[in-house]
Structure 1
Amino acid sequence: MLEDGFHDVPNGKIAAVVTSLEMFAKPPARPEAEGLDWTLERLPRPAAEDYLALYSAVGRDWLWFTRLVMPREALLATIRDPRVEVYRLEAPGGETGILELDFRQADTCELAYFGVSPGLVGGGAARWMMNRAVERAWSRPIRRFWVHTCTLDHPSAPQFYMRSGFQPFRREVEIADDPRLAGLAPLDSAPHIPVIDADSA
């Protein structure tokens, strides 16, 4: 357990506070705007390159890195597992979104990845996609639907998940190598999180 107070994060690393949220029953669908030109396409056996391009299109500004550092074989084993459902949001203008549901744990669905590309933030696409995520998750005989978010994500993410029916239950601190310094993300990604090189004094 961390004691109260400040704790140094080594140079070259990033740190985030992770909040996990869950629900135990299907909530009502949230209201949506009408006439939306969005579709959700399932990717049953995505190529690693296609998946990572989608993952990065949504997660670049928030320093999503977990799937970027996975060995290719492990990544494919995960995203092609029949108990994992990967969806791509198609929207006008080349904007997109990712929805990934993981049913590998008995009686449980994890909302493993969820987000929209920058041009869709704040325009209702996330709410539209969440309604479909909730519907799809609870179409299975699950007992629990859960998700985690962190302080690297959009600052409104925790409130969005709570408005969608999730309730927080755990808080953790995660420390990891900065993916920008490893060449896994452009150096100008997530400008709200300064890069501190491992060689900095």
Structure 2
Amino acid sequence: MADQPFSLTRPAVPAASRPGHLPVIVTYLEMTAPPGHAPVRQPAGNLSLVRADPPTWSFYRYLYDTVGEPWLWHERRRLPRKELERSIHDPLVEVWVLYFDGTPAGYGELDRRTQETDLSYFGLIPDFIGHKLGPWLLDTIIRKAWEGGATKLVVNTCSFDHPKALPLYQSMGFVPTRHVAREVRDPRLDGVLPRSAGEHIPLAR
């Protein structure tokens, strides 16, 4: 039988096969040339995008925890402080923070430590979701990646994330390259995240 053509659409999430685990589909995307479209128009309001160079551990954890809690971001909550600091203090890691009227509204993180520049984290603080900041922030960070010498830009998103995340990445020029089905231990069951996190994702049984 001939191989099925790769689908740009994320496949359906399978049922969990292990107690206490959550099924998830991770989609990997890449961009091999700078954006061909005009820059996204900056939304109205007092906006500024500032690199935290470097961020303190506590400020970084505030951004990561606040942006990521609704989507079950848990990996960096588990990292020992020293290990996380080694990463975020590396000069090849850039943490760009969006401020709205002086208040942090979101951030993006570029990791240039490998040949492929990785947009390793991106998101808005929940209070600012729905204010049309996401497309401009993403487009601006993508352009900073290329202006800083990227030769390829990669990112991944998963079925835990906001449903508009994958279409937004694609609209900016990222192309899916693979979908990977995984199962992860529900971080809410172990206290890594509060039980209230990820309200759209039922607790694992």
TM value normalised by structure 2:
0.86
Any conservation in 2 of the 1:95–1:119 contact (CA below 8 Å)? no
CA gap 1:29/1:102 in 2 versus in 1, 3 angstroms: farther
* 1-structure distance, mates of 2:75, 2:38: 30
Any residues of structure 2 matched to 1:35-184 within 5 Å, and which?
35-92=44-101, 94=103, 96-106=105-115, 108-184=116-192
Aligned partner letter, 2:189: L
SS in 1 for 2:119: strand
- Distance in 2 between the 1:176 and 1:29 partners? 39
8 Å contact 2:43–2:132 — kept in the other structure?
no
Structure 2 regions of 5+ residues with no counterpart? 1-12
Distance change >3 Å, CA 6–CA 99, structure 1 → 2: closer
Identity level (%): 35
Q: 1:101 to 1:11 in 2, by over 3 A?
A: same
Deviation at 1:61, TM superposition (A): 0.5
Runs ≥4 residues deviating over 6 A:
none
Cα distance change, pair 94–142 in 1 and its aligned pair in 2 (3 A): closer
Count of residues in correspondence between the two structures? 192
Task: Give me the CA root mean square deviation.
Answer: 2.0
Inter-CA distance 53–9: structure 2 relative to 1 (3 Å threshold): farther
User: Is this contact kept in 2: 1:90–1:96, CA < 8 A?
Assistant: yes
More off after superposition, 41-50 vs 96-105: 41-50
Kindly provide the amino acid, as one letter, of the partner of residue 19 in structure 1.
T
Report the 3-state secondary structure (helix = DSSP H, G, I; strand = E; otherwise coil) of the residue aligned with 2:156: strand
In the other structure, the counterpart of 1:19 is 27
1:120-168 CA-to-partner distances (Å, cap 9, x unmatched) read 2232211121122111100133221110000000011110000011011
